[in-house]
Amino acid sequence: MARETPARVVFLLQDLEFGGTQRQALELGLRLDRSRFAPEFWMLADVRDFAPRAEAGGIPLTWLSPYPKVGAQSLAGLWRKLKASPPDLFVPLTAVPNIWGRVFAKLQGARPVIGTCRGGGAIKRQHERFLKGLCDRHIVNAAPLAKELIALGRPAERVECIPNGVDTDHFLPPPDDMRPVREVVLCLARFCEDKDHETLIRSFEYVVARRPRAELWLVGDGPLRTSVRTLAARSPVRGLIRSYPSTPDPRPFFQQASVAVLSSVREGLPNVLLEAMAMGLPVAATAVGGIPDLVVPDVTGLLCPPRNPEALGETIAGLLADEDKRLAMGRAARERAVALYSMDAMVRRHETVFAQALAGKRAPAAANRDAET
């Protein structure tokens, strides 16, 4: 029987800081079919970077604590809110929400709950070995995460791999007359351990040895911001390294870049590479997590091993040295983003999983073949 009112789908986030998971949650919440689903965002910490856009899109926001860090007051607020206003469907995102959200939902008998794994270290950080059974099913954004969950004993039919989506009408290549005239290597990434900015900064020394006009732009915020900036300030090529804070609209940075780069040691399926590809940029990145599924070597970019500054530096320098190859890769990257990573496809697949969970149905095993191959 069809529901008379839309199902309340509560997304539990750590905060609304500028970040990949927050951006994907926002895009999903804004695009869900409101005749079927009524999205809400609950936040454990009071950081509001994306709040204006969420509010403008009509998404109700609940701040479970007045502090910018998760603490006892955040968890007490979550316990009270779950008890007072249990959702029809509960979807925690990132590590802390997945841990405490699932534990509290289980203790209060909330059903259904959808666990999520979105980053390369998520399964370990979220203690999935012990907590995987506290949700009805999982959504992951990269095939390696699905394989890891299944290897831990999670039934394949309870794991759905849904790649991130990118708004290819918003992230558009600049006109030909606006091509960058400088050799900007752009890293738009949170300053945290997973992104390994140290390797990137060291690799840039190899880049400058071959391309003396190159510039490295670091865009982001995060817990390691000070240490990363210190590393950059101590680099022999520090005069060519710039640092900028995160921004809700990264398009001006992409428009001025020649190459998008990530030096990560752990990843899910990084939004920043999808956005770069949609804007016609070739990618130089490490072959970790879901990146090899996203980047086609020698077609849309180049891959190299993690924690190898020389290999990454040579990869970047090679792209900067060959404009024709770089432009051809950028065109192919745009085509791949449009063909395989549309926002519409991402939203529709989430809606299917949400509807199955609300109906108490298991996802068809065929839907998870990609995770098992």
Calculate the alpha carbon distances from 300 to 194, 283, 336 in Å.
23, 7, 8
Mean pLDDT computed over 267-285: 97
Tokens read off for 306: 């993690």
Q: CATH topology of 7-165+342-372 equal to that of 176-340? A: yes
Q: What is the pLDDT of residue 34?
A: 98
Residue 365 has pLDDT above 90, yes or no: no
Give the CATH number of domain 176-340.
3.40.50.2000
Residues 207-227: b if buried by 16+ CB within 10 A, e if exposed: bbeebeebbbbbbbbbebbee
Q: What is the pLDDT of residue 370?
A: 45
Residue 197 has pLDDT above 60, yes or no: yes
- Nearest CA-CA partner of 191 in 240, 264, 118: 264
Tokens read off for 57: 């899109």
Tokens read off for 301: 């970019």
pLDDT digits (tens, 9 = 90+) for 16-41: 999 999 999 999 999 999 999 999 99
Arithmetic mean of pLDDT over the chain:
94
Say what percent of the chain tops pLDDT 70: 96
- Nearest CA-CA partner of 275 in 252, 296, 297: 252
Calculate the alpha carbon distances from 56 to 22, 52, 277 in Å.
16, 6, 28
36 and 351 in contact (C-beta within 8 Å)? Answer: yes
Provide the residue ranges of all domains of the chain, joining segments of one domain with +. 7-165+342-372, 176-340
This prediction's pTM:
0.88
Which position has the token pair 């063909």?
Answer: 339
In this prediction, residue 188 has a pLDDT band, given cuts at 50, 70 and 90, of very high
Q: What is the pLDDT of residue 277?
A: 98
Q: What angle do CA 93, 94, 96 make, to 5 degrees?
A: 105
Sorted by sequence, the CB contacts under 8 Å of residue 212 that are 6+ apart come out as none
- Nearest CA-CA partner of 345 in 161, 149, 153: 161
According to CATH, the topology of domain 7-165+342-372 is Rossmann fold (3.40.50)
Tokens read off for 356: 């199955």
